[in-house]
Amino acid sequence: MKLTLPENYSPTLSVLETQDAIKYIRDTFQREFAAEMNLSRVSAPLFVTKASGLNDNLNGIERPVSFDIQEIPDERIEVVQSLAKWKRYALKKYDFPVHRGLYTNMNAIRRDELLDNLHSIYVDQWDWEKVIAKTERTEEVLESTVRLIFKVIKHMEHEVWYKYPQAVCRLADDVFFIDSQELEDLYPDLSPKQRENKITREKKCVFIKRIGWPLEASGRPHDGRAPDYDDWNLNGDLLFWLPSLQCALEISSMGIRVDEESIAAQCRQSNCEGRLTFPYHRMILNRELPYTIGGGIGQSRLCMLLLNKAHIGEVQASIWPEEMIRQCEAANIPLL
């Protein structure tokens, strides 16, 4: 268990006021986000079959929650870890045109998550995906999409300030872009998380590009990425500085998705070419799925950021170790 306890922490909103603010932020953000991004809301699965290959393997070591069902005894069912692959399949199935997309409320269970102020076994986020042309698989399109998402989040700061002026967190005025290799070159003696904190403390909002390929000095990626959804040359993480914890807070992981060439190269790099036999992966190799850009935006994390909370348990109901609950109570951090 890892836990940061800020000195003299005093929530500016009561638990009931916080609950009202959570609903306000979630309702307002998804409405404005969908309008800006040209997205339609769809229903999404809580679980998929293992054989479909649609579940997100994350770093490849996290164990999905799985079970069988009485009516299909020979099939293993897995609770989704994210909807990165399902969304792209849904865009084809629902016949979305170019420059239109979808979003959904995604709920997941990550049983192997290491719990701390920012991480919970319960994941709630807006998963989104949008059809693009193959010629739009560019860094310029990625950055313009990031700026659009930043614009919506920045506008939410003003919305929250109007309703909860005593609680709102002041955000950066712009987003700073940097390549993960450039970041390692700047701070070669720091760990990836230390680099994130260093650059985000300075810039307040940062998008770190190209996550997945090994870096030159360390020989390891900046962070783990599954090889079969993001194109590692066209992806990244959006980070904001969180004053309450004095650290970088990842709000979104996103990217232009793999095409027929990058999925094969990344699966080779990750020693998991066996995945290329799954139905979903064969559809990409055969150019049967649309080219897309997509990602996830943490719902609880966005509430945490805009309200400057010190623990994600202040804005979501989850399960925590008894010792963490005890320490949070002593530090005036009210977990839901």
pLDDT digits (tens, 9 = 90+) for 64-122: 888 888 888 888 998 888 788 889 999 999 999 999 999 999 888 888 888 999 999 99
Q: Is the pLDDT of residue 55 over 80?
A: no
- Higher-confidence residue: 168 or 201? 201
Instruction: Give domain status of residue 167, yes or no.
Output: yes
Of the candidates 136, 82, 47, 113, which has an alpha carbon nearest to the alpha carbon of residue 254? 82
Going across the sheet that includes 101-109, the strands are 39-41, 101-109, 122-131, 292-298, 247-257, 230-242, 205-209, 176-179
Select which of 30, 120, 253, 266 is catalytic. Answer: 253
Q: Please, are residues 126 and 156 in contact by the beta-carbon 8 Å criterion? A: no
Select which of 81, 120, 125, 252 is catalytic. Answer: 125
Indicate if 223 belongs to the active site. Answer: no
Select which of 26, 110, 195, 301 is catalytic. Answer: 110
Indicate if 56 belongs to the active site. Answer: yes
Domain of residue 58, CATH code: 3.30.930.10
Hey, what amino acid is at 316?
A: Q
Q: What is the mean pLDDT of the chain?
A: 92
Residue 91 in tokens: 């865009």
What is d(CA 304, CA 313) in angstroms, rounded to the nearest whole number? 9
What is d(CA 9, CA 243) in angstroms, rounded to the nearest whole number? 11
Instruction: Give domain status of residue 175, yes or no.
Output: yes
Instruction: Give domain status of residue 335, yes or no.
Output: no
The whole domain housing 272 covers 15-330
The predicted pLDDT at position 51 comes to 81
Instruction: Give domain status of residue 45, yes or no.
Output: yes
Instruction: Give domain status of residue 168, yes or no.
Output: yes
Instruction: Give domain status of residue 143, yes or no.
Output: yes
Tell me, what DSSP letter sits at residue 318?
-
Indicate if 17 belongs to the active site. Answer: no
Indicate if 237 belongs to the active site. Answer: yes
Instruction: Give domain status of residue 9, yes or no.
Output: no
Q: Is the pLDDT of residue 56 over 90?
A: no
Indicate if 52 belongs to the active site. Answer: no
Predicted TM-score of the model (pTM):
0.92
Indicate if 140 belongs to the active site. Answer: no
Q: pLDDT tens for residues 257-312? A: 999 999 999 999 999 898 898 888 999 999 999 999 999 999 999 999 999 999 99
> What is the tally of structural domains in the chain?
1
The predicted pLDDT at position 59 comes to 63
For 54-63, 88-97, 170-179, which range has the lowest pLDDT when averaged over its residues? 54-63
Q: pLDDT tens for residues 7-17? A: 999 898 999 99
